[in-house]
Structure 1
Amino acid sequence: MKPNRMEAFSDGVLAIIITIMVLEFKVPEGHDWHSLIALGPKILSYIFSFVYVGIYWNNHHHLLHMIRTMNGRLMWLNLILLFWLSFVPFTTAWMGESHFAPAPIALYGIILLLSATSYWLLQLAIISQHSSDSAFVTSMGNDLKVKISPFLYLLAILTAYVSPWLSGFFYVLVAVIWVVPEKRIEHILRNQ
């Protein structure tokens, strides 16, 4: 199998995840702007999760361009990543329905932590296909984003019970760190 087939499958799954999230919205019973106010927490959690899924899609797309040889290990690691990401619609809906109660916010962080761990394992598997002195390995070997994100997710999970806003701050911080696609990969691809 060629890497573009795995990428196409992943794109389809991520598109379905986004579709499921938006289908959670029910049309308000009222017909004025005040009717939308009740949907505020759901809309906020949807926007937040849409950004996260978009970040994963964008960075995943860049990472898959570095695959040299497809194998079963990469396919399974990719499926594990998609498995954890497929829980995002559930946790998004629960956060919105609960108006950002501690348990849904903590579960959201657990899912994001497991997704990040899966992404990291996929990245390591792809890095292992390159020689240790390749531009890809040397540039990705000291990936601060990959190292700091799990720590920030743990802080978000732990602070969910102290302050949902503080927890949300850590989630936003991780999103800000990852929102720009991996420039190092773009640079390597341009110079090949």
Structure 2
Amino acid sequence: MKSNRMEAFSDGVLAIIITIMVLEFKVPEGHDWPALIGLGPKILSYILSFVYVGIYWNNHHHLLHLVRTINGRLMWLNLLLLFWLSLIPFTTAWMGESHFAATPTALYGIVLLLAAFSYWVLQRAIFIQHAGNSTVISAIGKDWKGKSSPVIYLVAVLSAYVSTWIAGFLFALVAVMWFVPDKRIEHVLNGQ
């Protein structure tokens, strides 16, 4: 099977995830700017999660351009990634509703950690499936962001019980690291 079917399915799931997150917003009772202040934590958690889903969508799109055909293993690993990403709306809502309390913030980090791990496993499976293809090997190559992100997530989860500000900063740090799509794959696909 061609990878475009898996990519189209994943695109649909990610679009639904973003839709679910925005539907969590309730209209404030007031009719002025101060009425929005109470939504501040929800808005911040939504922005962070929207950026994360966008990062996964972008990098997933680039990654699947390396795949010629998919098999059952890749499909299941892709579903594992989508499972963890589908929990982002729940953890986003809980974190925003609780005004970034320790446990919801830690759970948000755990979901991000497991999504990152799932993406790494999917990436490795693609690497193994294309072991003889030097294009795939050079495109994936060294992955300092992929290796450092889980460590930062783990520190963020643990620090959520010390300071949710530190945890939030670490989540934002990883998002900034990944905001620019993975150029390694683009360079290889463009023959650079």
Give the TM bin, normalised by the shorter chain. Answer: over 0.9
C-alpha distance in 2 between matches for 1:138 and 1:89? 35
**For the Cα contact (< 8 Å) 1:132–1:138, is it kept in 2?**
no
C-alpha distance in 2 between matches for 1:21 and 1:131? 38
Q: Give the corresponding residue for 2:121.
A: 121
Tell me by how many angstroms 1:131 deviates. 3.5
The aligned runs of 1:79-90 (5 Å cut-off) are: 79-90=79-90
1:47-84 CA-partner distances (Å, limit 9, x unpaired): 01000000000000000001122100000000000000
Distance 1:30 1:102, change over 3 A: same
- The amino acid of 2:175's aligned partner reads A
C-alpha distance in 2 between matches for 1:158 and 1:8? 36
What SS does the aligned partner of 2:29 have? coil
Gaps of 5+ in 2: none
C-alpha distance in 2 between matches for 1:21 and 1:120? 25
Normalised by the length of structure 2, the TM-score is 0.96
**For the Cα contact (< 8 Å) 2:159–2:167, is it kept in 1?**
yes
1:45 matched to 2:48 = no
Question: What is the aligned-residue RMSD (CA, Å)?
Answer: 1.3
1:13-60 CA-partner distances (Å, limit 9, x unpaired): 000000000000000111111111110100110001000000000000
1:125-145 CA-partner distances (Å, limit 9, x unpaired): 111122457143134232111
Q: Give the corresponding residue for 1:77.
A: 77
What SS does the aligned partner of 2:50 have? helix
C-alpha distance in 2 between matches for 1:129 and 1:145? 22
1:140-160 CA-partner distances (Å, limit 9, x unpaired): 232111111110000000000
Tell me by how many angstroms 1:176 deviates. 1.1
**For the Cα contact (< 8 Å) 1:58–1:181, is it kept in 2?**
yes
Normalised by the length of structure 1, the TM-score is 0.96
Q: Give the corresponding residue for 2:186.
A: 186
C-alpha distance in 1 between matches for 2:183 and 2:35? 42
Q: Give the corresponding residue for 1:24.
A: 24
**For the Cα contact (< 8 Å) 2:139–2:188, is it kept in 1?**
no
Q: Give the corresponding residue for 2:91.
A: 91
**For the Cα contact (< 8 Å) 1:21–1:92, is it kept in 2?**
yes
C-alpha distance in 1 between matches for 2:63 and 2:18? 21
C-alpha distance in 1 between matches for 2:46 and 2:133? 42
C-alpha distance in 2 between matches for 1:69 and 1:8? 14
Q: Extract structure 1 runs of 4+ deviating beyond 6 A.
A: none
Q: Give the corresponding residue for 1:36.
A: 36
User: Which range moves more in the overlay, 79-88 or 67-76?
Assistant: 67-76
Q: Give the corresponding residue for 1:2.
A: 2
Identity %, equivalent residues: 73
